[in-house]
Structure 1
Amino acid sequence: MSPAAGMFPVFPPPPFCYTFPVQPPPYFHHAPMSPVWPSPAVPVRSVWAYNFNAESDSLRSAARRARYVAVNVHYPGVVHHAGGQDHNTLTAEQRYALVKANVDGLTPLQVGVALYGNDDGYLGAWEFNLRDFRPRADPHDEKSLAYLARRGLNVGALRDHGVRADMLCATLFESGLISPRRGPPRSWITYAGAYHVAYLVKIVTRGAALPEDVAGFDDAVRRYLGNQVYDVAWMAGDCPAMPLGLERIAAHLGFHLPLWSPQLAAAAGVRALQVFMHLKYGEFGGNVQMYRGLLEGLH
């Protein structure tokens, strides 16, 4: 779930801050030109056990043409904190240690993926409902689950009708979205993305613990996602007129709410991709070469 300020008022944003070296910027590069996102509302395809095979086939078909991939993960809150220490005083390694502790110890609930192609425009949005979380046994933050429930997430339905994370892992690899050596270069889009990317790495490594340090995490992100990973929160931060929070930014820019599941993981992926396309071609003239880290600024 996105920890952006103004979007999730129930609990504070995750305490992760990381600055990449200025030369070379490992995650931010020029992306190929592409038309602006179309204006009609985007439908979300909700994926459960009963339609997993059909929707996985649909995702694999669309992935061949995708050049932009947005990801958003809903997860059961944050349970490891800095013990009252000011997050601004933490080092990059200390901040990463908190992210690692939370991601290693908690179980993702939903993964939203939205795709866009240079020649085809919008290709689709899929919301994978995961069944691995056990509310009575697994660590979680009750306020976070309550907040997600108010947005429409039914944890009981996930457990009864969802899919295993390892099934999603297989689909992502088979589609070619993960491990960029298998297909054309793609840009990955996220909003305030430290936790989203970290949970995605956990899923595609079949639940393995995250790397021990920031350098190892960098290597894992490059290995599975490639070198083009953009954080829309930082892009919007360079535009003084933009409000805070992904939903507020999307509304400010006039984007329609996604159809079906409009407040959950895939909808956030759609919004992140819509905002990215607008900022890239509307505000920055197609030239987005960021020099600040994907994971910087999550205080």
Structure 2
Amino acid sequence: MAVIEVWKQNLMEQIELIALLRRFFPIVAFDTEFSGFLRFTARHASEEERYSDLKYNVDNLRIIQLGISLFDASGRQPMPRVAWQINFSDFDPGVDSCSSESMRLLKNSGINLQRNRREGVSSVRCAALLREKLFDHHSGSFVTFHGSYDVGYLMKMLTGGKPLPETLSEFVTAASTIFCGRLYDLKYMARFCHGLHGGELGLMKLASLLNVEADGVAHQAGFDSLVIGLSFHKMRQRWVVEEDRDSMILYGLQSTCQKIKNTSSNNPLRRPTMILPPPAMSPPCAFPPRHFSSGDHDGGIRHLLPATPHGTWFQWTPPRYSFPGTGVAMPYII
């Protein structure tokens, strides 16, 4: 597995790269890591109580990492087992609220909080890029696992750090707008898949049951996003994904999500157009084979539109990147 670490010095080029690749790999699996929980939700709490705790935690805590993995409808990636891991500088372990148990877990998973503080990305700067490059589109899908907190932290970031909406209904409506109604929560989907324990399992257990193979460290956002994307593909191979049943339903908040979804589906002006994208026909990967070779790069990528919405055709000659331990040099990864 190759995790592309994103810091403030390479943020712009990596977001541009993600935007470019997403034209051919429109399924975005994502995960977040954050500074823990200040309130813990009882197992049998109502959905309103769950959201009250979620809002309190997200409003008062900070995001630490965002993991992104890209797939096409056939489960292919730009490069097998590759993920991006955006490291944020917002969290100051000496000042900000956190839970000690979560801090121990993150440190044991290899997250260097001091380096994040020094070299990480400002969530405000990152949000502006993500809004333009990743969320301001009307195609593709998003995949998460037990994703209410992941959605909450993304929503907080994309709105410039504002508190989450006051009510659960407002939160679900806002999430549906951000993800254009094309969000899948694997933990909820697993309820309808025979052999997956009705969804009452964690991500790594789900991956194990699906025979997902990926090397890495759990509780790092890049690795977890990759496992989410690979698990989604395995589930689609073995069970039917029903758009009306599965899309835009967050585990633990499903009744409210379904209610909002039904209201939206009855309004043709708010009905999402395409949920799961069709398989890519041509080309099967982001660049022609010559762009994957280890030979010299010829420069311009003239068969694709530029990643930026304004501008003319561009000449892009990215440096080479060698994945440690693989002996593989990719000319398009920075």
Pair in the same fold by TM > 0.5: yes
TM-score by length of 1: 0.76
Distance 1:258 1:70 in 2: 17
Indicate yes or no: 2:226 matched with 1:226: no
Distance 1:49 1:188, change over 3 A: same
Q: Which residue of 2 aligns with 1:249?
A: 206
**CA–CA distance in structure 1, aligned partners of residues 132 and 253 of structure 2:** 33
Is residue 154 from structure 1 mapped to residue 91 from structure 2 by the alignment? no
User: Counterpart of 1:184 in 2: which secondary structure?
Assistant: coil
Structure-2 change in CA distance of 1:295 and 1:234 (3 Å): closer
Name 2:189's counterpart in structure 1. 235
Q: Partner amino acid for 1:141?
A: S
The answer on whether the counterparts of 1:192 and 1:295 sit within 8 Å (CA) in structure 2 is yes
Unmatched 5+ stretches in structure 1: 1-41
How far the C-alpha of 1:258 sits from its partner, in A, is 4.6
Secondary structure in structure 2 of the residue aligned to 1:131: coil
Identity %: 26
Amino acid corresponding to residue 92 of structure 1 in structure 2: E
Partner in structure 2 of residue 34 of structure 1 = none
SS of residue matched to 1:122? coil
Q: Which structure would you say has the larger RCO, counting Cα contacts within 8 Å and 6 or more residues apart?
A: 1
Give the Cα–Cα distance (whole angstroms) in 2 for the partners of residues 94 and 242 of structure 1: 27
Measure the CA separation in 2 of the matches of 1:203 and 1:115: 21
Q: What is the rounded CA distance, in whole Å, between the counterparts of 1:43 and 1:205 in structure 2? A: 30
Q: 1:16 is matched with which residue?
A: none
CA distance in 2, matches of 1:118, 1:166: 31
Deviation, 1:263, is 4.9
Shift of 1:120: 8.6
**What number of residue pairs does the alignment pair up?**
247
For 2:30, the equivalent position in structure 1 comes to 71
User: Aligned-pair distance for 1:262?
Assistant: 6.1
For residue 95 of structure 1, the aligned residue among 42, 45, 50 is 50
- Would the alpha carbon gap of residues 272 and 287 (structure 1) be closer, same or farther in structure 2, given more than 3 Å must change? same
| Structure 2 counterpart of 1:187 | 141
How far the C-alpha of 1:223 sits from its partner, in A, is 1.8
Asked whether the 8 Å contact 1:198–1:210 carries over to 2, the reply is: yes
Structure 1 position 47 matched with structure 2 position 9:
no
Whether the 8 Å CA contact 1:69–1:116 is kept in 2: the answer is yes
Whether the 8 Å contact between 2:75 and 2:230 is mirrored in structure 1 is no
Q: Is the 8 A contact 1:77 1:141 kept in 2?
A: yes
Matched position secondary structure for 1:49: coil
Q: How many Å separate the matches in 2 of 1:119 and 1:249?
A: 20
Structure 2 match to 1:19:
none
Mark the CA change 1:293 to 1:224 in structure 2 (over 3 Å): closer, same or farther: closer
What is the distance in 2 between the residues matched to 1:87 and 1:248? 20
- 1:296 maps to which residue? 252
Name the CA distance, whole Å, in 1 between partners of 2:229 and 2:206.
12
Deviation (angstroms), 1:174? 2.2
Aligned-partner Cα distance in 2 for 1:206–1:74:
18
Equivalent in the alignment of 1:22: none
Q: Please, what is the CA RMSD of the aligned residues?
A: 2.3
The 3-state SS of whatever aligns with 2:138 is coil
Q: 1:53: Cα distance to partner?
A: 2.5
Cα pair 1:280 1:287 within 8 Å, conserved: no
Evaluate the alpha carbon distance shift between residue 79 and residue 263 of structure 1 in structure 2; reply closer, same or farther with a 3 A threshold.
closer
In structure 2, do the counterparts of structure 1 residues 204 and 47 end up closer, same or farther at CA, with 3 Å as the change threshold?
Answer: same
Measure the CA separation in 1 of the matches of 2:118 and 2:237. 43
Matched, 1:80 2:80: no
Kindly state the Cα deviation for residue 253 of structure 1 after the two structures are TM-superposed.
2.5
Deviation at 1:281, TM superposition (A): 2.4
Q: Does 1:163 align with 2:121?
A: yes
2:12 is aligned with 1:58: no
| Superposition deviation, residue 206 in structure 1 | 1.2
Q: 2:71 aligns with which of 91, 95, 116?
A: 116
Shift of 1:166: 1.3
Letter in 2 for 1:53: M
Give CA-to-partner distance per residue, 1:202-242, whole Å, 9 cap, x none.
Answer: 11111111000011111211221110211101222333423
- Letter of the 1:131 partner, please give it: S
Query: Once the 2 structures are TM-superposed, how far is the Cα of residue 294 of structure 1 from its aligned partner?
Result: 1.0
Deviation (angstroms), 1:67: 2.2
